[in-house]
Amino acid sequence: MAMTIIMVGISEYNKIESTPTPNLLDNNDIFSFRKTDAIVPQDNSVSFTVQNGDTLRSILANADISENDAGNIIKSLKKVYDPSKISIGQNISIFYDDFDKTSISAVKFSITSEKTIELSKTDEGFSVKERFIPLVKNYVHVTSKIEGSLFGSTQASDVPSIIAQEFVKQFSYDVDFQRDIHEGDSFDLVYERYYDAYGNYARDGKPIYMSLNLAGEVYKLYYFEGKDGKGDYYSESGASVRKELLKTPINASRISSGFGLRKHPVLGYSKMHKGVDFAAPIGTPIFAAGDGTIIEMGRKGTYGNYIKLKHGSGYSTAYAHCSKFKKNLKLGTRVQQGEVIAYVGATGRVTGPHLHFEVLKGSQHINPVNAKFASNNKVNVNETREFKRYVQKLNRKLISMPSHTEISADSIKGL
């Protein structure tokens, strides 16, 4: 597996902006080695991994840092980073002028796999350097039969949860995961995986290709970035996967009660069910089904905690029985499609935790499962040729790329 090792120098003010990600499959960037003045661990240093209950001040105290130096470190760090955001598992390295560890010279904070903050002692206090670390990108290919749920099958194939959730989210515009998926169907997936310059795993990126084979009907989605730097998922024809509204505004749930006439589980008699119920644990995030404005929010009788959004094209959506709403939301707030607006609960007249989801066209309730929502947009007309070339290249590569394999991004650019 070919890997490119990347090192970067320090610019004025010591802040390096990350290099914009080039178009997928067309990575022609070549990085050269440059000597840097990065802090390198020595024997005259000590490292701490942040534990539950730690604060930056308590860590510095445990390292026998004077109160004066500790105060200056925290003051300097605040210029570029909020010390209260230091989290469990982060690494903090402290460097000394001597091997007796009596006089501090520098502190290094590992914020993420791509960013460190280094403080060096000066006569005035501590200078601050932010370092942004370029990563090496690989592509991981996974294909498998679906046994049980799609999400469960991706987990059985060692697909990271964040990738599986994105898979489900993007197909939720067109696929009814309760009715359309059956034993023997299959999925195909290519996603990004990043490593540091030493080959250590850093993080997973996003899916760049997703496919579902449902009873012989194949659905394919491709991630494509336009010249404006904005990316989205498109079908082979170039139509955006995004529709006016999501059919399922919640991840990895099951429909516990469908739309239409039903015997009410609490009242015991038949009653029109004007929405769809999704069973899920209390606290599960609920997403806005589309871009819109909050027009109702609060307690609403048997609905319990209730929130309603007004969208374009005459649509509105409602979400009931929530445990709570997302902080800082209020009447009139604009929300984006896919943004968390509330959390599943069991408020109001219910037998258990679930989301009651309604879609209205004007004043008429409609079944979101069967509704046909229009696509939001297509690939820019000036980039159609580039998109088609990209799709053809990736399709050819998939033929020769076995499942559960990982290849470097550089190996794809030559197609």
7-11 contact pairs (CB < 8 A, 24+): 7/31, 7/33, 7/34, 7/36, 7/197, 8/34, 8/36, 8/131, 8/132, 8/133, 8/134, 9/34, 9/35, 9/36, 10/36, 10/37, 10/129, 10/131
User: Sheet harboring 217-225: ordered strands across?
Assistant: 231-234, 217-225, 201-214, 186-195, 136-145, 405-408
Sort 333 into a burial class: Cβ within 10 Å, 0-12 / 13-18 / 19+: middle
pLDDT of residue 404: 84
pLDDT at 271: 58
Q: Can you give the pLDDT at residue 101?
A: 66
Quick one: pLDDT at residue 109?
93
- The model carries a pTM of 0.65
Question: pLDDT averaged over consecutive 10-residue blocks of the chain (415 residues)?
Answer: 34 33 37 37 78 90 90 94 90 84 86 91 91 92 88 89 89 78 90 90 94 92 90 92 86 64 48 81 93 97 96 94 96 95 94 93 88 81 91 89 83 56
Query: What does DSSP say about strands 270-273 and 260-263: parallel, antiparallel, or unpaired?
Result: antiparallel
Residues with Cβ within 8 Å of 177's Cβ and at least 6 positions away in sequence, in order, are 149, 150, 168, 171, 248
Any residues with CB less than 8 A from the CB of 44 and at least 6 apart, and which? 95, 96, 97, 98, 99, 101
pLDDT at 175: 81
Residues in a beta bridge with 194: 137, 203
Query: Could you tell me the domains of the chain?
Result: 45-132 (3.10.450.350), 136-235 (3.10.450.350), 254-366 (2.70.70.10)
**pLDDT number for residue 100:** 66
What integer pLDDT is reported at residue 298 of this predicted model?
Answer: 97
